[in-house]
Amino acid sequence: MNKQTPFSPPGRIPLAGGYVDVMQLEAEIEKRIRSDANAETDLGGLRGCAVMVTVKGLSGSNTTRVNFVTAAGKAYIALGKIREKHKAADVHARIYWNRIWLIYKFLACCVEFRFEASAQSSFQAFADGLNCLKIDIEQAVKDAEYSQVEDLVQKLKASLLAVRSCLLGAEEAGEQLERAKLDELLAMPELPEELLSQELFGPTPFPVMLPQVPIIKLTVASCSRMLAELRAAYSVPEFHAEYIRLRNSPQALGAGHVEFALTVQGRIIEKYGFDPSLAGVIDMRNHTSTLAHHDAVVAKLLHDIHALLEAKSPLPKPEAWIFEPGWRPEMPPSPRADAAQLVQTAKDTGERLATKPAVPFESDFEFSGPTISVDILRADQELLGFGGAFTEASALVFHDLSAELQDEVLELYFGLDGIGFSLGRIHINSCDFSAGNYDFDNIVDDFQLNHFDGNVTHDTKALIPFVRAAQKKLSASGQSLRLLASPWSPPAWMKTSSKMNGSESPGLRDDCHKAWARYFSKWIAAYKKHSIPIWAVTVQNEPEHDAPWEACRYTPATEADFLGRCLGPELQSSHPEVQVFTFDHNKDHVYAWAKAAYSHPAASSFVTGVAFHWYSGDHFENVRRVHHDFPDAVLLSTEACYERSRWKGKLSLGTGHWSFGEGYAHDIIGNLNAGASGWIDWNLILDESGGPNHVGNVCDAPVRADVTKNELYVHPQFFFLGHFSKYLLPGSKRLHTSVTQAPKYEGATRPYGTCSAEDGLQATSFLRPDGTIASIVLNSADLSVSFKLQAGTNRVLRACIPARAVQTYIFQMR
Check 30, 411, 639, 758 and give the catalytic one: 639
Check 28, 351, 411, 542 and give the catalytic one: 542
Whether the CB-CB separation of 429 and 491 falls below 8 Å is answered with yes
Closest CA to 538 of 580, 479, 481, 496: 580
Whether the CB-CB separation of 106 and 123 falls below 8 Å is answered with no
How far apart are the C-alpha atoms of 244 and 312, rounded to whole Å? 7
How far apart are the C-alpha atoms of 684 and 426, rounded to whole Å? 11
Angle between helices 193-201 and 179-186 (to 10 degrees): 180
Closest CA to 332 of 788, 727, 716, 779: 727
Cis status of the peptide bond prior to 465, with omega within 30 of 0: no
What's 333's DSSP letter? Answer: P
Whether the CB-CB separation of 384 and 724 falls below 8 Å is answered with no
CA distances from 593 to 539, 624, 629, 656 (A): 12, 14, 13, 35
CA distances from 311 to 11, 80, 240, 303, 315 (A): 18, 44, 9, 12, 8
- Write the DSSP string, 623-642: HHHHHHH-TTSEEEEEE---
Residues 6+ apart with CB under 8 A from 1: none
Closest CA to 43 of 221, 269, 274, 233: 221
Closest CA to 668 of 660, 679, 659: 679
CA distances from 650 to 348, 483, 657, 704, 715 (A): 19, 34, 10, 15, 14
Closest CA to 718 of 688, 768, 683, 751: 683
Whether the CB-CB separation of 451 and 391 falls below 8 Å is answered with no
Q: Which residues of 419-435 are buried (b: 16+ CB within 10 A; e: fewer)?
A: bbbbbbbbbbbbbbbbb
For the question of residue 639 being annotated catalytic, the response is yes
Strand bridging mode 772-779 / 536-538: unpaired
Residues 6+ apart with CB under 8 A from 171: none
Closest CA to 705 of 681, 683, 686, 684: 686
SS3 592: helix
Closest CA to 542 of 513, 569, 507, 497: 507
How far apart are the C-alpha atoms of 348 and 468, rounded to whole Å? 37
What is the helix, strand, coil percentage profile of the chain, to 5? 40, 20, 40
How far apart are the C-alpha atoms of 470 and 316, rounded to whole Å? 41
CA distances from 515 to 446, 556, 562, 564, 605 (A): 8, 20, 11, 15, 21
CA distances from 278 to 24, 232, 262, 284, 289 (A): 33, 20, 7, 10, 16
**Which residues are annotated as catalytic?**
542, 639
